[in-house]
A and B are shown apart, each in its own frame.
Chain A
Amino acid sequence: MFELDQRIAEQLTEVALNSSVQVRCGNSNAFMVTASTMVPLMQMFEMGGVYISGSRSAMEMIEAFETIGIDVSNIQFVDLVSSGVLGGTDSTRKNIHFVDSPIMLESILLRALYLLRTTTLERNFVILDSVNALAIYNDDRMLAEYLHTFINTFRQREVLSVILNVPDQTPPLVLSNLDLYCTDLIDRGQVVIH
């Protein structure tokens, strides 16, 4: 049976809506940490929001959540992966929205803002999965600048931002900037040796 990490839920009780939480995970526990973060936000805090899916396609993520019994039909997914695969965007699910490429960072931000403006819920989150996926495609300086903009944009709008990150796959410049910008850290990552 799939077990959620309850300590993550406990840590989340201490964050405010305008916080930005860096969630560090490793290669092997990425989905468990993601689910352990998302479930309390949805079920304990009754939040809705946007899931930016850059590591795997949105469809794959939704199916993974459904497999462990989590209904994510109220969460809007921004898929950065499928447009790069011919035939990947033929999903009929209304809560999946496609962005052409992880390179179009501003489009990702605008799409998330658009989706948040169309929601009726008062308390929302935006989950960015993940910094290391964006780092594959984007220059370090640009990614560091983007995270600065991203975090401050949502903080200003009182939307909780959750930034998923596998630290040993993230460039040092981006990692140190992330440490600086984020208000909270949930560390389930691996030992980082740079």
Chain B
Amino acid sequence: MQPAAVYTRDRCVTGIHGLDEILRGGIPYGSTVLASGTCGSGKTTLAMEFLVRGALAGEACAHFTATEPSVKLLENIRQFEFFDMNMVDTGLINVFDMDVLYSWLGLEKSSFDLDDVHALIKAIVDIVNTIGVTRLVIDSVTTLCYKIKSEQLIRDFLFTLGKKLSTLGCTTILISEITSATENAHWSSFGVEEAIADGIIVMGDVERMGHLLRFLQVVKMRGTSHSRAKHAIELTPIGVMLTPMLKWGAQGDKQSKWGA
């Protein structure tokens, strides 16, 4: 008797070696993944490697930055030995300042209403469509959502954006900043992002006798089986490196911020 065929979704191979193993091959194509973490946990580095690895494979990639100027961001990517400035010159890596985008759209205001949100979605989707972007990073969705005052509107924004990008075959990483103030509540700043996202990757620190060890944990990823264990990470010139965190050391010497 032949075994039943098992359906597997095509993957966006991140190129981040350990992460693809954790995800049993990569992120399912077209997913919207929330990368949540505290400051200094490596979210932006992870996202940038995701883009550079995509560019190395010939994919068009885009990064919308709201947390630091694009020039500074590009300087930081130079730390990767596998990064080549030609990727930017040839249009494989495209970095957009959110401030410039807001300015184009006439959205230089402290809060967005429904029309503003729709204009923003349209602008992002148009850019993705025009360039043929298959990997997108928004850094950070938290900064962006601070301008959207209603939870319902944040939900609509993320849901509509995710749906449209998925239709275009674009795999998206939304970076979410978590502070200790949210430690008992969610894996996202507003509590709605995590419900909308197809996947959640949590990044943070485990404190062990006064030393901070960075960790990464895939909490959720629709469309694939995956490890849900904590993994220790190091940020190196050849990219993010992962290894399973020691079980006897994963807790640290105080309660983790994630309630693990």
Q: Which residues of A contact B (CB under 8 A)?
A: 100-101, 103-107, 109-111, 113-114, 117-118, 137, 139, 141-142, 145-146, 149, 153
A101 to B211, CA, bound (A): 8
Of chain A, the residue at the smallest CB distance from B244 is: A149
Q: B216-260: contact bitstring with A at CB < 8 Å (1 yes, 0 no)?
A: 000000000000000011101010011111111100000000000
Of chain B, the residue at the smallest CB distance from A114 is: B236
Neighbouring B residues of A106 by C-beta, 8 Å: 213, 232, 243, 245-246, 249
| Dominant secondary structure at the B interface | strand
B247: contacting residue among A104, A113, A118, A145, CB under 8 A:
A145
Find out whether the CB atom of B211 lies under 8 angstroms from the CB atom of A146. no
| Dominant secondary structure at the A interface | helix
Q: Which residues of B contact A (CB under 8 A)?
A: 208-209, 211, 213, 232-234, 236, 238, 241-249
A109 to B18, CA, bound (A): 14
Find out whether the CB atom of B243 lies under 8 angstroms from the CB atom of A142. no
Find out whether the CB atom of B213 lies under 8 angstroms from the CB atom of A104. yes
Find out whether the CB atom of B211 lies under 8 angstroms from the CB atom of A104. yes
Find out whether the CB atom of A113 lies under 8 angstroms from the CB atom of B243. yes
B248: contacting residue among A100, A109, A139, CB under 8 A:
A139
Find out whether the CB atom of A142 lies under 8 angstroms from the CB atom of B248. yes
Neighbouring A residues of B243 by C-beta, 8 Å: 106, 109-110, 113, 149, 153
Instruction: A103-B211, A110-B232, A145-B246 given; name 7 further pairs at CB < 8 Å.
Output: A104-B211, A106-B243, A106-B246, A110-B233, A110-B234, A114-B236, A142-B249
A69 to B247, CA, bound (A): 42
Of chain A, the residue at the smallest CB distance from B215 is: A106
Q: How far is the CB of A97 from chain B (nearest CB, A)?
A: 10
Find out whether the CB atom of A117 lies under 8 angstroms from the CB atom of B246. no
Neighbouring A residues of B249 by C-beta, 8 Å: 105-106, 139, 142, 145
Find out whether the CB atom of B234 lies under 8 angstroms from the CB atom of A114. yes
Q: How far is the CB of A176 from chain B (nearest CB, A)?
A: 17
Find out whether the CB atom of A105 lies under 8 angstroms from the CB atom of B246. yes
A137 to B253, CA, bound (A): 13
Neighbouring A residues of B247 by C-beta, 8 Å: 145
Closest 5 CB pairs of A and B: A106-B232, A142-B248, A110-B234, A114-B236, A141-B248
Find out whether the CB atom of B248 lies under 8 angstroms from the CB atom of A110. no
A114: contacting residue among B209, B213, B241, CB under 8 A:
B241
Neighbouring A residues of B248 by C-beta, 8 Å: 139, 141-142, 145
Q: How far is the CB of B229 from chain A (nearest CB, A)?
A: 12
Find out whether the CB atom of A118 lies under 8 angstroms from the CB atom of B238. yes
Find out whether the CB atom of A107 lies under 8 angstroms from the CB atom of B238. no
Neighbouring A residues of B211 by C-beta, 8 Å: 100-101, 103-104
Find out whether the CB atom of B232 lies under 8 angstroms from the CB atom of A107. yes
Find out whether the CB atom of B234 lies under 8 angstroms from the CB atom of A107. yes
**Could you name 7 residue pairs across A and B whose Cβ atoms are closer than 8 Å?**
A103-B211, A109-B243, A110-B236, A114-B236, A118-B238, A139-B248, A145-B249
Neighbouring A residues of B245 by C-beta, 8 Å: 106
A114 to B247, CA, bound (A): 22
Q: How far is the CB of A173 from chain B (nearest CB, A)?
A: 12
Neighbouring B residues of A111 by C-beta, 8 Å: 234
Q: How far is the CB of B45 from chain A (nearest CB, A)?
A: 14
A117 to B17, CA, bound (A): 12
Find out whether the CB atom of B246 lies under 8 angstroms from the CB atom of A113. no
